[in-house]
Structure 1
Amino acid sequence: PATKALAQQLNGLKAPVTFFITPPHGGHVAVVNHWAEAHLVACVPPPTLSELAEGDTQWVARCANQRHWAVPALERHFLRHTQGIQGVREFLERALSGRLGQGVIGCDSWTYAYLQQVIGIEGAPVFTLQSMEGEQLSHYFTKIATHRGQSPLVYSTRTGKPVLTESATQSADKAPNKELQRLAAHCRGHIGLAWHYWRERLREPTSDDEEALWLVDALAEAELSADTGDIATLVLHALLIHGGLDDDSLGQVLPFSHHEALNARLALQRKGVVSSCEGRWQITPLSYASVRQLLESRNYLVDPL
């Protein structure tokens, strides 16, 4: 559905570049990949770590002979240091001027905020997913879980009432359940994060005779203490700006030794704040709200979403 909505917005647009951004775990990579595949548009492969570290811009030249192109994950095309920013700066300058034809760029919202500051990418159309409230989440969760025309029954362990709107209507519960409204608020309306919470909070029935699922009241989230050190804070910020990094890349974008960076990352891993995904360390979905709050309280650059 998000891919179809993006295609509708792109239909008739004459801009040389259009951005589609989402917060972490929001799905921009999948959406742009699906769009490119459906429209037979080639995706620009990301440069290698050595190309980024050396400031090599040959990967930009490889985009020159395409009328239409897509970049599913712009966060994979730079590193935050002098050499690592050269390629993406040249790429965006050429793309925004129209010299590379017409393209769609998927981008993490933290990467977008950072590149706005260091390069300036104003003027290009930007789309994102609409934030969702509780009732919209209820319809969404019902739709993706419906099996053979049958909607799932999900009850709150706190109140014993149905959580999903359709179930509440069937049980003549006139007051809509507040569980998903609280979830939507906690996740700032982001559907990707809400989906992770939903999955983690669902529990199977306690007996074989029972068909309903149960939604536990809360989860033990990995929270950061107010006295989190500067090194750990910088590690978290770097991971968000780059949409995740491996240990080698992480050491290249931080102002301290590789050993210090590794120790900070290991401590965050033990707390459950970061985890490995496809070879990169990322902020875990259930830790994101706490991490963003910490960075904002310390006046770090945060994403616009």
Structure 2
Amino acid sequence: MAEEPEKTWQWVTVDDYEKLAVPTTIKIKKWWKKFVRWVTPEQEHEGEEEQSQVLELSFDTAAETLDDCFSDWLNDDDDSSLRWIIAPPHSGVEEAVQKWAEKHSLAEVSLPDRESLCDPDDSPMPEFSPKSDDNNPWIMPQLAHSFLRQTNGLRWVREFFSQVLSGEAGKGVIVCDSWAWAFLEKVWPVPVNQLWTLQGLDQNALEQLGLARGDGRLRALAALSRGNAGVAAAYSDRYQRGSEKAFDTPALPSEINDATAFVCYALLLHRGMTKTQLVQALPIVSGSQLEIQLQVLKQRALIELEQELWYVTARGYPVVRDLLMSRGFWLDRF
């Protein structure tokens, strides 16, 4: 893959984030059919093999761009402020920040055991590295993994907010999934400064990354992915340009009920959960119904199991987001 231009990855404050104009996935499918006949001249198909391999993205350049953005703050020993980074699912934000943090040897804040958060007899407290004279910064790798949306499951994250916003914890970087952040903003409604994310990728940026060719295809891919790099890559069947099914999305189950939506929302809100954690966070869904929902959604390629955690897939994310929006759930801002 050709080297990415410097402007492909841009870190912006959340207030400056520019949303792409996004039709629904149904409109995209209809829109795509209008473009498919002229996206690529017929002769360009000769000699190309049909390929559905997903393009692997590197976030090294995004990490380098973050270094340019945060270097002054990082090197200022007198500045003990915080940097908050919001990471939409599959966007690559978390991966880029992790590369940057490893480069600068930032100490990680230990995450609590989520399954023990609901035990009222256990009082987990955030633990930070001891402060030093040179004010070494720390990083919270994923705030979404520090709570469960349950009566007792928010104790740790409330204490975390109390410590970091009071200045007790010193200088640090907090990474949080965008769905978790939309929820936590209401749990702890204290405005924070320096809230950052990666700008969504438009059709020009997608072209630079090699995700697609042809103006119509690029526009459709940018719209479907909402500028999300990981979602766009999941639909990057780069050589199937003559097929109307190039961006075919996973289908929802034939029967959608409240349990379907609750499970999908919980997985996004917590950025992945074990079955045990789902049971703790969704007491209104019976064990048998939960198992049915997990298996049906998995068969539809809307969710997947990875290292005991259930996640919404990159290909399924646009479909799940549309489902939750149609049922009035509180969405992230991306």
Which category describes the TM-score, using the shorter chain as reference length? 0.7 to 0.9
Counterpart CA distance in 2 for 1:2 and 1:15 is 24
Question: Would you say the 8 A contact 1:70–1:104 is kept in 2?
Answer: yes
**Per-residue Cα deviation, 1:12-55 (whole angstroms, up to 9, x for no partner):** 34463211112111123322221221111111121113432225
Matches within 5 A, 1:1-305: 1-13=61-73, 14=79, 16-54=81-119, 56-60=122-126, 62-63=127-128, 65-66=130-131, 67=135, 68-141=137-210, 163-164=212-213, 177-198=215-236, 201-202=237-238, 213-215=239-241, 216-217=243-244, 218-224=246-252, 228-256=256-284, 257-305=286-334
Deviations 1:235-255 (A, max 9, x none): 000000000101011110013
Could you tell me how far 1:282 is from its partner in structure 2? 0.7
Runs of 4+, deviation exceeding 6 Å: none
Q: Whose RCO is larger (CA < 8 A, sep 6+)?
A: 2
Mapped partners of 2:290, 2:263: distance in 1: 7
Q: CA deviation at 1:227?
A: 5.3
Alignment gaps of 5+ in structure 1: 143-162, 165-175, 203-212
Cα distance, 1:271 vs. partner?
A: 1.9
Moved more, 265-274 or 184-193: 265-274
Scaled by the length of structure 1, the TM-score of the pair is: 0.79
For residues 316 and 176 of structure 2, what CA distance do their matches in structure 1 show?
Answer: 21
SS in 1 for 2:293: helix
CA distance in 2, matches of 1:136, 1:302: 25
Q: Deviation per CA, 1:145-178, whole angstroms, max 9, x where unpaired?
A: xxxxxxxxxxxxxxxxxx53xxxxxxxxxxx532
Contact 2:253 2:297 in 1 (8 A): no
- CA separation in 1, counterparts of 2:138 and 2:287? 36
CA apart distance, 1:88: 0.7
Across the aligned residues of Structure 1 and Structure 2, the Cα RMSD in angstroms comes to 2.1
State how far apart, in whole Å, the 2-side matches of 1:69 and 1:268 are: 37
Corresponding position of 1:160: none
User: Could you tell me how far apart the structure 2 residues matched to 1:121 and 1:188 are?
Assistant: 28
